[in-house]
Amino acid sequence: MNLRPLVIATLLVWPHAGAIPNQVGAAQPLSIELRIAAPTQSVRVGDPPIRVRVELWNKGSDDFIAGTTLLPIVTEPTYLLLRFVDAAGKEEPVTKMTISRTAVLNDKRWTRIAPGHYYGFEFGLTSDPYDNPFLSTPGRYMLTAIYVSKGGNTPPSPDWGVPAHKVWEGEIVSNSITIQMLPAKK
């Protein structure tokens, strides 16, 4: 067996391997679970919003770097997409938002999730025709969330001796919950 090509390949790759520490999941199976839940899963059209909780759970043995934005703001390096499917199986348009952020906020885009912990966010899902026009139609909808990470690097913190870290890139699909939209009160 000729080990020469393996040794040459190792020498070519070796100096670059430690330049930026890898994010968990880059070279091993991802141990992150995305969960959604709603304490109330039925609401009348026009009533106050349904509270939806989104949680990224770290089931692995190393820290996981996640984006702090768990909203459908697609101009962020990480974001959450919401997929709605009605009772007939028709998929509704995915809710997306775009905003611009200042450079000052760039360092606040990342958080570390320790093993066995989660990072979560709660938002109101409204039946307002402007926000989610299809939810103003009574019926049953299945909601699934998708965490999207475009990857990249966290900023280093030279003052604290913290290097930049590679951020995992990919998508994680959550469990599904059912939301029942009841007719508005007369």
Lookup: tokens for 154:
């966290």
Per the structure, the complete domain to which residue 163 belongs is given by 32-182
69 three-state secondary structure = coil
The counts of H helices and E strands in the chain are 1, 9
Averages of pLDDT over runs of 10 residues in the chain (186 residues) are: 42 36 46 93 86 93 89 84 91 65 56 94 78 82 93 79 84 94 86
The CA distances from residue 138 to 4, 22, 101, 119, in Å, are 68, 47, 36, 32
The tokens for 17 are: 């391997």
pLDDT at 143: 93
Give a yes or no: residue 10 inside a domain.
no
Residue 88 DSSP code: T
Q: What CATH number should be reported for the domain holding residue 67? A: 2.60.40.10
Provide the terminal-to-terminal Cα distance of the chain, rounded to the nearest Å. Answer: 81
Residue 73 lies in a domain: yes
On whether residue 17 sits in a domain, the answer given is: no
Say what the pTM is. Answer: 0.75
Instruction: Please report the pLDDT score of residue 86 as a whole number.
Output: 92
Q: Is residue 62 part of a domain?
A: yes
Q: What is the DSSP string of 138-181?
A: -EEEEEEEEEEEEEEEPPPBGGGTBPP-EEEEEEEEEEEEEEEE
How many structural domains are present in the chain? 1
Does residue 21 belong to any structural domain of this protein? no
